[in-house]
Amino acid sequence: MITLFENYDLMSEYVASSVAELITENPKCKLGLPTGDTPIGMYKNLVQFDLDWSKVKTFNLDEYVGIGESHPQSYHTYMNKNLFLHVNLKDSNKRFPDTEFDKDIKKMGGLDLIVLGIGHNGHVAFNEPGSSPTSSTRRVKLSKETIDANSRFFSDIDEVPKWAHTMGMKTIRESKKIIVIANGSDKWNILDKCFNGGLSKQRPASILQTHPNIEVLYAS
């Protein structure tokens, strides 16, 4: 079930092509989009395609609580830098988790594709271990493991936000298609446990095993 890529560039090109294909086939598609290190290559490739993003709607998976949108480490800043500044996506079509998020996604007929990274503890978006498979978009406390992992982006671990808003497992599971991406040998263990092992709330990504249209990609 896990597709292996020879290297990160090949995986990034593949995911970018999948997203580009969807936008070409369905210019009004709704995309769930990730942040973090892993998707950077996907965005780099994606912005090279000559695509019309004017009717596309994007729904980011998560955002920190407690730092402003313009903070250098906010996911708003990340998205501006890696995607939004390079494509003709409308401001009103760029969404981050808020109180209307799930209702609006449902009204629009659900997401067509979600691209997801995976944390070392098996989290997807900021659905930390123990998250309910039926959880909705909500405010969550970040686990110590996530705070430690994300401290590499901040000058001091005390600056890492302790809370975030995340898309819930229910909305992720309801997406028509899911692509999970993982890069580097340090991610293999958790990826293997989540997608070749049993289902467990303690490893939220494992719940996605039962999705009818999921691709799990790994680059070593």
Q: Applying CB under 6 A, which residues contact ligand PGA?
A: 36-38, 117-119
CA atoms 124, 165, 44, 92: torsion sign: positive
Residue 28 Cβ, how far from ligand PGA at the closest point, in Å? 27
**Whole-angstrom Cα distance, residue 137 to residue 103?**
10
> Closer CB to ligand PGA, residue 55 or residue 154?
154
Given a contact cutoff of 8 angstroms between Cβ atoms, the answer to whether 119 and 98 are in contact is no
Residue 93 burial (C-beta neighbours within 10 Å; 0-12, 13-18, 19+): middle
Write down the catalytic residue from 76, 123, 127, 165: 123
Residue 38 vs 58, nearer CB to ligand PGA = 38
How far apart, in whole angstroms, are the C-alpha atoms of residue 132 and residue 179?
Answer: 20
**Residue 102 CB, nearest distance to ligand PGA (Å)?**
20
Known catalytic residue: 121?
yes
Q: Which is nearer to ligand PGA, 158 or 186 (CB)?
A: 186
Active-site annotation holder among 60, 62, 63, 112: 62
* Parallel/antiparallel/unpaired status of strands 163-166 and 138-141: antiparallel
Closer CB to ligand PGA, 38 or 51, in the complex: 38
Least distance to ligand PGA, CB of residue 107, Å: 27
- Specify whether the CB–CB gap between 3 and 205 falls below 8 A: no
Q: How many CB atoms lie within 10 A of CB 101?
A: 21
Instruction: Give the count of beta carbons closer than 10 Å to the beta carbon of residue 198.
Output: 9
Q: How far apart are the first and last CA of the chain?
A: 16
What Rg, from alpha-carbon coordinates, does the chain have?
Answer: 16
In angstroms, give the least distance from the CB of 117 to ligand PGA. Answer: 3
Residue 110 or 184 with smaller CB distance to ligand PGA:
184
* Active-site position among 82, 102, 128, 150: 128
The distance of closest approach from Cβ of residue 108 to ligand PGA in the complex, given in angstroms and rounded to an integer, is 24
- Given the residues 104, 121, 145, 174, select the one marked as catalytic: 121
- Residues 10 and 162: their CA atoms lie apart, in Å, by 34
Residue 80 annotated in active site: no
Using Cβ positions, the residue closest to ligand PGA within the complex turns out to be 36
Residues assigned a catalytic role: 62, 121, 123, 128
